[in-house]
Amino acid sequence: MIFTAARNRVLVTGIGVESCAGGTPDELWAALSAGRPAISPLELEEPLPCRVGGVVKDFDPRDHMSAQQVRRTSRFQQLLFAAAAKARADAGLRTPPGALYVGTGGGGLDETARLVTVLRRDGWSRMNRLGLLRLLPNQAAGLVAQELGVTGPVLTLSTACASSTDAIGAGMRAVRDGTADVVLVGGVESWLDLPCLASFSLLDALSQRPAAEAASASRPFDRDRDGMVPAEGAAVLVLESERSALRRGATVYGEVLGAASTCDAHHPLAPRADGSVAARTIELACADAGLDTAAVDLVSAHGTSTPLNDLAETEAIKLAFGPHARRVAITAPKSVIGHSCGACGVLESVGVLLAMREKYVPPTANLENPDPGCDLDYTPVVGRPAAINVAVKQNFGFGGQNSAVVFGSA
């Protein structure tokens, strides 16, 4: 006899954000919907070719943590902690979530650099005794688990820029399959430190626009784009079974319908130029949702503003959606909030959920001169009202990581 488990519907019932566009979903939405970039000049100790980024300003960890917790933690842990606390409060959760899935690209890479500096300069015994706890990628999730009492699966995924998109997929499956009624999924990145920015600059991956052009630096699909604009941030969603949400009378932002992950298996940095595997990711996510790609109303693009990604992503959209690629609305949130690497999946998903709620396609800022090779409807500069019932959030990362999530409206 074969038993088939019932699939729970997976609803989004809480949101928490810490972004360069603000610390609330409404602030984030105000910037995204207006196409108002939240990119500013970076204050770096040494000059680098990269001079602009998305900084989470006015963030004070003491607003969210005890003095002891602040002392023991690094910025990526603090950002995730704050976002998780906000999401939990927004959802009105009174009991611990059953599981937690967090995506981060580098974890506490900035702390590693600090430790190495002290090691070389003063010797190993002068290093921070708690330094290890401030850099391990899983320590952010561990901290949140400890605070909220999450004793089920607490997993940290690191798939570069697809990390937290993959975290949503993992969380969705946990709720859908009945592993937990309520889970948190999050993403976090804090990479505006010299070693990280220098390393990406050496790959010629970051925009080199001057500080005075901060607001126009991130320009996905534009002819004049010149690389990613780095940003820090964190975001957390509460995913909940329909049964649990109904029982609690929870506010529902939307539904997670499906997800998929693949790998280009092609190159450490560059995407497949034909977008074939990325396209398959989108198709698989839609299939997981039980939908044809033609049902999709909005694509929230990865849109890194790099020459390679935006062309390959355009090819992927054409392959995945066929003739519908010319009709579906596309938006590139990184034009407003920069590239928050491992955090971007969840952070940009907040934009998707609010776009569905507000029935409005947010624009791709700075898309003034479309690249001839990027010839789809990316909603340039000005947004527009539209009914959005189904949306895809897709992200692609170094190492050929591809991830897509399908959302449904509330």
Just list the catalytic residues: 161, 302, 339
Distance CA 193, CA 183 (A): 31
Strand-pair partners of 401: 263, 397
Tell me the three state secondary structure of residue 357: helix
Given a contact cutoff of 8 angstroms between Cβ atoms, the answer to whether 331 and 379 are in contact is yes
Scanning residues 274 to 303, which ones bind other proteins (CB under 8 A)? none
Beta pairing class for 298-300 and 390-397: parallel
Least separation in angstroms between CB 139 and other proteins: 12
Given a contact cutoff of 8 angstroms between Cβ atoms, the answer to whether 118 and 127 are in contact is yes
Q: Based on the shown chain and the rule CB under 8 A, indicate whether residue 69 belongs to the binding site for other proteins.
A: no
- Order the strands of the 329-331 sheet from edge to edge: 154-157, 99-103, 182-189, 233-241, 10-18, 254-263, 401-409, 390-397, 298-300, 329-331
Residues 6 or more apart in contact with residue 287 via CB below 8 angstroms? 258, 260
Q: Based on the shown chain and the rule CB under 8 A, indicate whether residue 72 belongs to the binding site for other proteins.
A: yes
Alpha-carbon distances of 224 from 216, 288, 300, 380, rounded to whole Å: 10, 37, 21, 14
43-51, 121-129, 160-168, 248-256 -> range binding other proteins (CB under 8 A): 121-129
Q: Which helix (H) or strand (E) segment is 199 a member of?
A: helix 194-202
Least separation in angstroms between CB 84 and other proteins: 20
Among 47, 120, 125, 265, binds other proteins (CB under 8 A): 125
Least separation in angstroms between CB 141 and other proteins: 18
Among 24, 40, 128, 179, binds other proteins (CB under 8 A): 128
Q: Based on the shown chain and the rule CB under 8 A, indicate whether residue 126 belongs to the binding site for other proteins.
A: yes
Indicate the residue among 147 and 358 with the shorter CB distance to other proteins.
147
Indicate the residue among 4 and 125 with the shorter CB distance to other proteins.
125
Pick the closest to residue 391 from 365, 343, 367, 358 (CA basis): 358
Scanning residues 129 to 188, which ones bind other proteins (CB under 8 A)? 129-130
Six-digit token pair at 320? 């995945």
Q: Based on the shown chain and the rule CB under 8 A, indicate whether residue 3 belongs to the binding site for other proteins.
A: no
Indicate the residue among 3 and 124 with the shorter CB distance to other proteins.
124
Given a contact cutoff of 8 angstroms between Cβ atoms, the answer to whether 172 and 256 are in contact is yes
Q: Based on the shown chain and the rule CB under 8 A, indicate whether residue 121 belongs to the binding site for other proteins.
A: no
Q: Based on the shown chain and the rule CB under 8 A, indicate whether residue 124 belongs to the binding site for other proteins.
A: yes
Least separation in angstroms between CB 128 and other proteins: 7
Indicate the residue among 4 and 68 with the shorter CB distance to other proteins.
68
* Binding residues with other proteins: total (CB under 8 A): 9
Q: Based on the shown chain and the rule CB under 8 A, indicate whether residue 116 belongs to the binding site for other proteins.
A: no
Q: Based on the shown chain and the rule CB under 8 A, indicate whether residue 71 belongs to the binding site for other proteins.
A: yes
Furthest CA-CA distance within the chain: 68
128-136, 162-170, 245-253, 381-389 -> range binding other proteins (CB under 8 A): 128-136
Indicate the residue among 134 and 334 with the shorter CB distance to other proteins.
134
Scanning residues 217 to 256, which ones bind other proteins (CB under 8 A)? none
Least separation in angstroms between CB 107 and other proteins: 19
Distance CA 255, CA 7 (A): 13
Residues in touch with other proteins (CB under 8 A): 68, 71-72, 124-126, 128-130
